[in-house]
Each structure stands twice: as C-alpha cells, then as structure tokens.
Amino acid sequence: MADPTARAWCQELGPKGDAHLYLQEVVRASGLLAVAEVCMPKLVEVDGMVLIEARYSSESLDRWRARLGEDRAALARTVNNFVVWDDLRTDGDRVDAVDDMAAEFVASCWRARAAEQFPGREVVVEVVEQYGPTVVMYESSQPSDAG
C-alpha cells in the first residue's frame, strides 16, 4: 500500500493485513460509497459546460461569471475542482507523494466519468499545483467556440 498510514495499520496485523482488510475494518461501506460519490460524480450540462452536479449552484456560477466573464473553461474549473489539502483531511506527517497519488486517482476517475457521460466532448481533467495538488475539469474547446 502506498499510503504510509494504511501500510502501518496493515503491517501491525502481520501477514493477514492487506488493503481489503483495511477497507473492511477502517473505511467500511459508507466510506467507500462516499469515495465513489466524489470520484465518480454525476455530471450535468449547464450553459454548454460539463459540471459536477454536486458542486454546481446557479448562484455561485453567476458570481464567478461576474468576475470571469464568459470564459467557460475558467468557469468550469471553478466548479469542477478537487483540492487535496482542502477536500481530504491530511495528517501533519503527510507525504507529498501520497497527496499527488490521491489527486491522480481522482483525476483518472473523473476522466472515465466524463468519457462515459459525455462521449465525444473534449473534456480535460488534469492535476495542477495551486494550493497543493488540485484536480480540475473543463472542456478544451467549448461548443459555442466552434461557430
């Protein structure tokens, strides 16, 4: 296991300690379902943008539109983001590589979800360094830009 906290927990149990037991004893079903909701979110189309439904509100989008104008990629990035240091409880003894792996995992899931729910759209999911590793999702070319 890559995460030192989970690895230490498993090592204390000896040979029987593994990722499956960690899920069973520590994460449990409710934790796994919460991870699934974050990693495989429902996506919706709003004003031609692909957005994460759970993170979207019309009021917030209107406030960002007043600041950013009609730059749909920038607007989508403000809605579709996952900041590891904010969205996960990180320990003081955090290992940066673990944060990076968490961000890459979320990004991989979002890519799969976007391809599944919006095939044919040029949805970009990338990990950027803002306030720590941050996953953002937007379209490289917006439908209205093609005209």
- Under 8 Å between Cβ of 121 and 139: yes
Say if CB 43 and CB 52 are below 8 A apart: yes
Q: How far apart are CA 83 and CA 131, in angstroms?
A: 7
Q: How far apart are CA 142 and CA 147, in angstroms?
A: 10
Q: Would you put residue 46 in left (φ > 0), alpha (ψ -120 to 50) or beta?
A: beta
Of 6-15, 26-35, 55-64, 99-108, the one with minimum mean pLDDT is: 6-15
Chain segment 52-110, per-residue pLDDT in tens: 999 999 999 999 999 999 999 999 999 999 998 888 876 655 567 888 999 999 999 99
Query: Is 87 strand, coil or helix?
Result: helix
> What is the percentage of the chain residues whose pLDDT exceeds 90?
57
Residue 3: which of 94, 79, 71 has the closest Cα? 94
Cβ-defined contacts of 31-38 (< 8 Å, 24+):
38/82, 38/87, 38/106
Contact 39, 109 (CB under 8 A): yes
Q: Domain coordinates of the chain in residue numbers? A: 1-39, 41-146
The better pLDDT of the pair 135, 5 is held by: 135
